[in-house]
Each structure stands twice: as C-alpha cells, then as structure tokens.
Chains A and B, each alone.
Chain A
Amino acid sequence: MAIVEAKQLTKVYGSGETAVTALDHVDLSVAPGEFVAVMGPSGCGKSTLMNLLGGLDTPTEGSISIDGKEVAGMTDEELTKLRRRRFGFVFQFFNLIPVLTAIENAALPLTLDGMSEAEARAKAADWLAKVGLSDRMKNRPDQLSGGQQQRVAVARALVTDPALVLADEPTGNLDSRSSEEIAGLLKTASDEWGRAILMVTHDPRIAAHAHRIVFMEDGRIIDDTQIAGSDDARKAMEKVGLL
C-alpha cells in the first residue's frame, strides 16, 4: 500500500476570470521507502503539491490518502495529529534550539506530542546514533559543526517515525559539500530506514540521489522516471528539457 496517494489532485486559486490552476488533476503515489524528487520550473505547482500533501491546504478537487486513509474526511484535530505523527519536515536551515542539547532538540517533536521525557530521550538517542552522532548527544548546537547540526535536524525529522518526510528545497542555501551530505542522509533514510521521502529541489545534483524524479510543468506531471545515479538523472532532465 502506498504511503501517500494523490488522485486527480487539483488546486485552483481565485475564481472566474482571475482563477489560476496551480495543480491540474495530478496523480501521484509514493511507496514506503521510496525517495522521490519533484522538479520543475517555478510556478509549475511543486509548492502547491507539497502544501496539499503536507496537510497545509485543501484541494479544490481530487483526493489524498495517507496510510490508506482519506484526508478529506478527517477533522482538524485528526489532521493536526497526522501532521505531527506521520510527517517529518526538513527545512532549508536547521534551526535547532540553541539552549537545548542535541538529544533534547531531536526529542522535541515527541515531548511536544506528550511522550514522557525518558521515552522521548531514548528514541532520540537511537536516531542520533543512526545519523552518527552517538558521541555528541549532550552538545548544544554551538558546539556542533554545520554538518553535525544538519544530522540533528534530520534525526529530529525522523524521530516521530514519520510515514513521509517532506523536504522542500532542503539544500536551498547550503554549500555543495553540505548539500551532498544532506541528500546522502535522506537517501539513507529511505534505503536503510524505510522512510518515504518527497523532496522538492531545483538542484540536479541533489535530485540525482533520489530513486525517482517527477517533473512538473503548468500544474501537471509531465514525466515520472525511475533513476539510479547521476547519469540517469541527467538523461531524465535532458528528456524534459530541464538541462
């Protein structure tokens, strides 16, 4: 069963003559453990797609199911819980809380969800170990390198055991070495830890880490290609004219 399945997803902003169709009957399904990159020129509908799948906005038409359950029928409270428990968000900047240690930062989504401190710390410790930070758990962000902070941020996104990690231009501002590192971590999260990842990016080198690239234009998916490595990624991009 797909982790997330969008059917005929449509979003229209405004009405009448000024209406803009940001998303036009899009079908997209992401399987567990799949790493999908979404690419396309600005205004192609990538951000709208992410907002809808992340439960931030409601579609004009079509449906979204998460874990096989239709989102449209959910109450606001259920949606909030879904967001908090089944989605992980990776942002462009790590934005760790400076007064908290690595383990406290990583545990935060769990403690906010009402889990006991001890249980949350144990889970956070597991994830920090997985991202290679077992010897840095008690360090505060200012005592960590940029790459290490990034790892804490990824651990924080994974600690709730999300079905789907949404990463919106996660390397938007990073230097190329850090970009590679975070893309590699996301790949590990999907390959080894079975997380489904949906990443919007405009960077071909980062998209090359994904299993699949979905190309969008004018609110539609124009191509959807499985890839293995940067050669495939380049060919796929040449095919749709992005390179």
Chain B
Amino acid sequence: MPVRHAILGLLDQRPRHGYDLRAAFEALVGGPAVWELKPAQVYTTLDRLERDGLVAPVERVRIGGPDRVVYQLTDDGRSALHGWFAQGVHGDHVRDTFFVKLMVAVATTGADPRAVIRQQRITLYRDLHALTHNRATIDRTCDLARAMLLDKAVMHLEADLRWLDMVEARLGEIEQQPMPQPLPRRRGRPPRAAEDDATEMAAG
C-alpha cells in the first residue's frame, strides 16, 4: 500500500495534520470515489511512522473541533521516501478475482461458465463506458494527470475484454483439461537423500 509513503511525500511538502493528509491524499488519487481513506487508517499510519522515527509531532492546532496534531518529516523519513522512489512497482495481474470465479464455475456442477463470461463482459463494458464518460468530462489542459490515470484504466479494461474473448473461444479445451491440483505432499519422515549425499561426499 502506497499510503504510508504518500503520507511521507505530503509531509515533505510541509507539516500537516491527519485531516489535511487525508484530504490531500484523496485529491491526489482522483477523489474519495476512487480511493477513500478512512480517518483511522491515517491515524494508525501516522502512529507507526512516529514510532519508527520517520515523522514527528510539531504542534497542536485547534480549528473549531478537537485538537489536531501537526506532523513533520524527519531526516529518516526523508531518506525512506527517497528509498521508495528508487524502487520499481511490480504489476499485479495474476491474482485475478474473475479468474478464480471462472475456474470454480468450470468445476461446479450446474454452473454455466459461459454465462459467467457473458456477465463479466457486460460488467466490464459498463465500467468501460463509465470511465470513458468520466474521461470525456476532464479538461486535459489542466488535469492531464487524472486523464492519464483513466487512460490506464481504460487500456486495462479493453485488454480484459479481449482476454475474455480468448477465454470464451477456448473454454471447451479448458473444460477438457483436469483442474489444477495441489502438489501431493509427502507423509512421514522427510527423505534422507541429503544425509546420504553428505555421507557419500565424506566417503569420496
């Protein structure tokens, strides 16, 4: 989860309190409809960052409601932030919820995997139209970053739709094949091969 490092980055700009961080994060990712941050998550993250010495409280302010603690970034926090920049982010497309549903449907008597694919296609098209609509309302001259994020989502949805066509076309073959099974686990004592090797080496 990038929330921890996003908070470090936001505190690198200037000291902020939790409420401010939450609003700034949500604005950054495209609004609470896209990625809502629970206040509790902000405060537990800040507690951990403080415990790890990456942020430190500087003052308490009061604007109407309760006291708010303003945090600032420490030197350790700044190097943690730059360490994060120095690393790549792996794409995660293999752990796929729809794939699990489809495979279970293939193995379930009375389920229709073709209907599961059709429903998925309808769902993805709806998502695609909603995203396309959202993107059309964005002014690229002042909100290009958000437009690019939506482009990414559209690209992936379209790839998913093409992939669905491929799976649908080859479903018959998939159904002919045995379901992936867990590897058999040996019972009893572990094999003694390692010891034997060691004895042989010692003898040789």
A84 to B132, CA, bound (A): 24
Asked if B158 and A95 sit within 8 Å, CB to CB, the answer is: yes
Interface residues of A in 41-87 (CB under 8 A from B): 42-43, 47, 51, 56-57, 76-77, 80, 84
* B115 smallest CB distance to A (angstroms): 7
- Pick the residue among A56, A108, A113 that contacts B121 (CB under 8 A): A56
Chain B residues with CB below 8 A from A93, complex form: 151, 154-155, 158
A219 to B154, CA, bound (A): 25
Asked if A113 and B169 sit within 8 Å, CB to CB, the answer is: yes
Interface of A is mostly: loop
Interface of B is mostly: helix
Asked if B125 and A51 sit within 8 Å, CB to CB, the answer is: yes
Chain A residues with CB below 8 A from B115, complex form: 76
A112 CB–B CB distance under 8 Å: yes
A18 CB–B CB distance under 8 Å: no
Name B172's closest neighbour in chain A (CB-CB).
A114
Asked if A112 and B136 sit within 8 Å, CB to CB, the answer is: no
Query: What range describes how many residues of B lie at the interface?
Result: 20 to 34
A93 to B166, CA, bound (A): 17
How many residue pairs bridge A and B at CB < 8 Å? 57
Known: A84-B169, A169-B132. A92 touches B125 (CB 8 A): no
Chain A residues with CB below 8 A from B159, complex form: 95
A116 CB–B CB distance under 8 Å: no
Known: A51-B125, A93-B158, A95-B162. A80 touches B135 (CB 8 A): no
* A116 smallest CB distance to B (angstroms): 15
A145 CB–B CB distance under 8 Å: no
Asked if B169 and A47 sit within 8 Å, CB to CB, the answer is: no
B101 CB–A CB distance under 8 Å: no
Chain A residues with CB below 8 A from B114, complex form: 76-77, 80
Asked if A172 and B158 sit within 8 Å, CB to CB, the answer is: no
A173 CB–B CB distance under 8 Å: yes
Interface residues of B (CB under 8 A from A): 114-115, 118, 121-122, 125, 128-129, 132-133, 135-137, 151, 154-155, 158-159, 161-162, 165-166, 168-170
A-B contact pairs, 16 of them (CB 8 A): A43-B133, A51-B125, A56-B125, A76-B114, A76-B118, A80-B118, A80-B168, A84-B169, A92-B154, A93-B155, A113-B169, A168-B129, A168-B132, A169-B132, A172-B154, A173-B154
